[in-house]
Structure 1
Amino acid sequence: MQAMFHRPDLPTADLAWLNSSEKGFASLGEAFATPTEPTPLPAAHWVGCNDALRGALGLPTDLWEQQEALELFSGNRLTANQPIYASVYSGHQFGQWAGQLGDGRALNLGAIHTPEGLQEFQLKGAGPTPYSRRGDGRAVLRSSIREFLASEAMHGLGIPTTRALCVTGSPAHVRREEIETAAVVTRVAPSFVRFGHFEHFASNGQIEELRALADHVVTAHFPELQEKQGADRYVALLHEVTQLTAALMAQWQAVGFCHGVMNTDNMSVIGLTLDYGPFQYLDGFDANHICNHSDHQGRYAYARQPQIAYWNLFCLGQALMPLIEEQAPALAALESYKQSFPEAMDQRMRDKLGLTGAHEGDRALAEALLQALQKDHVDYTVFWRRLSVAVRESAQSAQAFEPVRDLFMHREVFDAWCIRYLDRLGPANRQSTGDAMLRTNPKYILRNHLGELAIRQAKTGNFAMVQDLWQVLHAPFDEHPTYEAWAGLAPEWASSIEISCSS
Structure 2
Amino acid sequence: MSFSPQSAFALLGPEFADAVDPADFPAPQLRWWNQRWAEEIGLDHLSAADRQRHFAAFAPLDGYPHVPLAMRYHGHQFRHYNPQIGDGRGFLFAQMRDSAGRLLDFGTKGSGQTPWSRSGDGRLTLKGAVREILAAEMLEALGVYTSKAFCVYETGDQLHRHDEPSPARGAVLTRLQHSHVRFGTFQRHAHEQAPDRLTSLIDHVADMYYPELAGQSGVDKTTAFLEAVTGASARLVAQWMAAGFVHGVLNTDNLNVTGESFDYGPWRFLPTYKPGFTAAYFDETGLYAYARQPEAVFWALQQLAAALLSVGEQDALVDVLNTFPDRYTAAMTNAWCCRLGVVEQSGSEAMVRAFITFLNASQLPFEAAIFDHFCADNSRISAAPRAYSGPEYEAFADLFASHRADRPERLSHAYFDRPDPVHMAIDVMEAAWAPIHESDDWSALHDLFAEVAQARAGYDLGRNRTGFLPEDTA
The count of corresponding residues between Structure 1 and Structure 2 is 449
Does the Cα contact within 8 Å between 2:146 and 2:260 map onto a contact in 1?
yes
- Give yes or no for contact 1:124–1:186 (8 Å, CA) kept in 2: yes
Amino acid at match of 2:132: E
Matched letter for residue 146 of structure 1? R
Q: Do the aligned partners of residues 333 and 479 (structure 1) sit closer, same or farther apart at CA in structure 2, a change above 3 Å counting?
A: closer
Q: 1:47, 1:166 within 8 Å by CA — same for their partners in 2?
A: yes
Is 1:160 aligned to residue 145 of structure 2? yes
Q: Any stretches of 5+ residues in structure 2 without a counterpart?
A: 460-474
Q: Which residue of 1 aligns with 2:53?
A: 71
In the alignment, which residue of structure 2 is the partner of 1:3?
Answer: none
Which residue among 423, 446, 453 is the counterpart of 2:398?
423
Answer yes or no: is the 8 Å Cα contact 1:392–1:434 preserved in 2.
no
Match of 1:446 in 2: 424
Runs of 5+ consecutive residues of structure 1 not aligned to the other structure: 1-16, 394-399, 408-412, 481-503
2:386 corresponds to which of 394, 406, 413: 406
**Contact 1:144/1:185, CA 8 A, preserved across alignment:** yes
Match of 1:90 in 2: 74
RMSD: 3.0
Measure, in 2, the Cα distance between the counterparts of 1:434 and 1:23: 42
Query: For residue 341 of structure 1, what is the aligned residue in structure 2?
Result: 328
Task: State the shift of 1:21 in Å.
Answer: 6.7
Contact 2:411 2:458 in 1 (8 A): no
- Structure 1 residue 464: Cα displacement: 3.3
1:472 is matched with 451
The range that moved more, 278-287 or 192-201, is 278-287
Change (3 A) 1:259 1:225: same
Distance in 2 between residues matched to 1:435 and 1:44, nearest whole Å:
41
2:308 match: secondary structure: helix
- Trace 1:389-404 onto structure 2 (pairs within 5 A): 391-392=377-378, 401=381
Structure 1 window deviating more from structure 2 (205-214 vs 268-277): it is 205-214
Letter in 2 for 1:187: R
Question: Structure 1 residues 175, 96: CA separation in 2 closer, same or farther (over 3 Å shift)?
Answer: same
Provide the TM-score with structure 1 as the length reference: 0.82
> Using the alignment, how far apart are the partners of 2:404 and 2:306 within structure 1?
50
The residue type equivalent to 1:392 in the other structure is N
Say if 2:341 and 2:376, in contact at 8 Å, map to a contact too.
Answer: no
Q: State the match for 1:293 in structure 2.
A: 281
Please report how far the alpha carbon of residue 352 of structure 1 lies from its aligned counterpart in structure 2 after TM superposition. 4.2
1:124 to partner: Cα distance: 1.1
**1:219–1:389 Cα change, 3 Å:** closer
Q: Distance in 2 between matches of 1:307 and 1:437?
A: 39
**Under a length normalisation based on structure 2, what TM-score does the superposition of the two structures give?**
0.86
Structure 1 distance, partners of 2:215, 2:59, is: 41
What CA deviation, in whole Å up to 9, does each residue of 1:127-150 have, x standing for no partner? Answer: 101001110000000010111222
1:8-36 deviations in whole A, cap 9, x for unaligned?
Answer: xxxxxxxxx99877322111111112010
1:244-298, Cα deviation, whole Å (9 max, x unpaired): 0001111111111110000000001101002111111111221111111110010
Deviations along 1:300-350, one digit per CA (max 9) or x if unpaired, are 0000001111110000001111110x2111011111112110111123334
- Separation of aligned partners in 1, 2:292 and 2:256: 18
After superposition, give the CA deviation of every residue in 1:402-447 in whole Å (9 maximum; x if it has no partner): 666835xxxxx93323433443345777797695799999933333
Q: Percent identity?
A: 29
Deviation at 1:478, TM superposition (A): 4.6
> Residues 208 and 49 from structure 1, CA distance in 2 versus in 1: closer, same or farther, beyond 3 angstroms?
same
Q: 1:331 to 1:438 in 2, by over 3 A?
A: farther
Mark the CA change 1:112 to 1:344 in structure 2 (over 3 Å): closer, same or farther: closer
Contact 1:138–1:183 under 8 Å retained in 2: yes
CA contact (8 A) 1:351 1:437 kept: no
Distance of aligned partners of 1:135 and 1:52 in 2 relative to their CA distance in 1, 3 Å threshold: same
The letter for the 2-side match of 1:293 is: Y
Partner of 2:90: 106
1:311 match: secondary structure: helix
- Indicate how the Cα distance of structure 1 residues 158 and 346 shifts in structure 2: closer, same or farther if over 3 A, else same: closer
Matched to 1:330, the amino acid is L
Contact 2:58 2:93 in 1 (8 A): no
| 1:60 has 2:39 as partner | no
Q: Would the alpha carbon gap of residues 233 and 427 (structure 1) be closer, same or farther in structure 2, given more than 3 Å must change?
A: closer
Match of 1:388 among 351, 374, 399: 374
1:33-56 Cα deviation digits (max 9, x unpaired): 201001111111011111111111
Instruction: State the AA in 1 paired with 2:235.
Output: A
Structure 1 equivalent of residue 103 of structure 2? 118
- Show the counterpart of 1:197: 185
Contact 1:259 1:276 survives alignment (8 Å):
yes
Q: 1:331 aligns with which of 314, 318, 330?
A: 318
Alignment equivalent of 1:369, drawn from 345, 355, 375: 355
* Aligned residue runs from structure 1 range 7-406, under 5 A: 22-63=6-47, 66-75=48-57, 77=59, 81-116=65-100, 117-177=102-162, 178-324=166-312, 326-353=313-340, 356=343, 358-360=345-347, 362-388=348-374, 391-392=377-378, 401=381, 406=386
